[in-house]
Amino acid sequence: MAKLVVRNFSISIDGFGAGLNQGLDNPLGVRGPELFDWFFHTRTFQQMQGDTGGERGVDDDLAALSMAGIGAWIMGRNMFGPIRGPWPDDQWKGWWGDEPPYHTPVFVLTHHARKAVPMAGGTEFRFVTDGIHVALQQAKAAAGDRDIRVGGGVATIRQYLRAGLIDELHLAVAPTLLGAGEHLLHGIDMRALGYAYVKHTAGERAVAHVILRKRA
């Protein structure tokens, strides 16, 4: 059965999944890139950028696995881009260039309607104004028997967690302290929602890959 999953979502030791002041110059917020230092060095990331090289090992294996078997993505508008309020035009098509790395339909949560944006390589951004449950229904229809990945950002993952809809989370706990930003689990009782620790794996760059799963 298809699952709703979070994979490779990096957080700091103190629990922040993004830094302060996200915007065009700081897509991940101030100091946010520190969360993904382990990922930027992997062969998988380098290939996503059209480059060669990159490190192999546990981090790369998990980075590659996180992209496998995904039939649709869900993301918040903040992850899609820095524009707020009504769409001024159709120029902004994401951070990822002409061929984003998703290669599936991507359902973007927003309060403002917009026509779908087809991209090279099979990615198509579809904008959902009716909330997380409708986005999930549409993603399930698009994904078939493959999994649906919630890419982020923090607010979007928190909404799906609070609703108890995420089946499995792979959190990459990076060896850094942000001190401030968007906290992933603040005020969320994961145990009460039925989530439990499954396993963890140590990566090459001091990152801890932690798997949490919702009990059946």
Q: Which residues pair with 11 in a beta bridge?
A: 173
User: Which parts of the chain register pLDDT below 50?
Assistant: none
Q: pTM of the predicted model, to two decimals?
A: 0.95
Domains annotated on the chain, with CATH: 4-15+31-82+99-214 (3.40.430.10)
Residue 117 pLDDT: 97
Determine the pLDDT at residue 176. Answer: 97
Distance CA 49, CA 101 (A): 9
Q: What is the 3-state secondary structure (H, E, C) of 92-111?
A: CCCCCCCCCCCCCEEEEECC
| Strand pairing report for 208-214 and 168-173 | antiparallel
pLDDT in tens, 138-181: 999 999 999 999 999 999 999 999 999 999 999 999 999 999 99
pLDDT value of position 48? 87
